[in-house]
Amino acid sequence: MSINKQELVLALPKGRVFDDLLPLLEGTEFAIKDNPKNTRKLLLNTKSKYVRVLLIRGWDVPTYVTSGAANLGIVGKDILLEKESEEYIELLDLGIGQCRLSLAGKKNLLEGSTRMKIATKYPKSSIRFMESIGIQSEIIYLHGSQEIAPALNLSDAIIDLVDSGNTLKENGLYEIQVIREISTRLIANKAALKTKSSIVQEIKEVLS
């Protein structure tokens, strides 16, 4: 299986965002032909012979797009903030996957604190934010389920995505400060913008 020069590869993240994207693509010329639920294929055909969809983890989308292995990608702003690059350009805010990146912990977390252990999968954003509020931080890197770390004394606080706030609440944590609003973005490899501009524009319009 190989990609020819005229084809465009759109990298999509598996999971919740993918489920939100399916209806946006459905009924358009870029609708996915293979049923992702019935196949283990990772490069899926769309109705357009010029576009294929690559199904990967959100954290890997910037890697594929930066290298040019994928021409376009859809990914959360939280991940883009951690994986900044000169090689891609943000084209569109899709207005889905809306949530916030927040500092959370016990109610009086910030009172008198000068040092703090932060459990997170966002080390760069966390260090930047903690520096901005003048608190020295030690990062405890976790891949998920950060919300339990303070109760077990692994950390003092967490920096993670918050949507309904239920995960924080059910683990006895408070949202102390919103660091930034997050949503899902369309990114493009810079070279693809030049060589595949018309198909990029068509996909952008479908997702707008």
Q: 61: Cβ–Cβ under 8 A, 6 or more apart, which residues?
A: 11, 12, 13, 70, 73, 74, 75, 79, 187
Q: Which is nearer to ligand PRP, 16 or 106 (CB)?
A: 16
Give, in degrees to the nearest 5, the angle at Cα 203 between 27 and 83.
Answer: 125
Q: Which of 81, 89, 154, 161 binds ligand PRP (CB under 6 A)?
A: 161
- Terminal alpha carbon distance of the chain: 31
27 to each of 33, 48, 189, how far by Cα in Å? 11, 12, 26
Q: Select the span of 35-43, 46-54, 78-86, 144-152 touching ligand PRP (CB under 6 A).
A: 144-152
Distance of CA 156 to the CA centre of its chain: 25
Q: Which is nearer to ligand PRP, 37 or 143 (CB)?
A: 143
Q: Does 181 bind ligand PRP (CB under 6 A)?
A: no
Q: Select the span of 87-95, 111-119, 125-133, 165-173 touching ligand PRP (CB under 6 A).
A: 165-173
The alpha-carbon radius of gyration of the chain (Å, integer) is 19
Q: Which is nearer to ligand PRP, 51 or 56 (CB)?
A: 56
Q: Which is nearer to ligand PRP, 30 or 129 (CB)?
A: 129
Q: Does 162 bind ligand PRP (CB under 6 A)?
A: yes
Tell me if 84 sits within 8 A of 41, measured CB to CB.
no
Q: Does 81 bind ligand PRP (CB under 6 A)?
A: no
Q: Does 167 bind ligand PRP (CB under 6 A)?
A: yes
Please report, as ranges, the residues that interact with ligand PRP according to CB under 6 A. 144-145, 147, 160-167
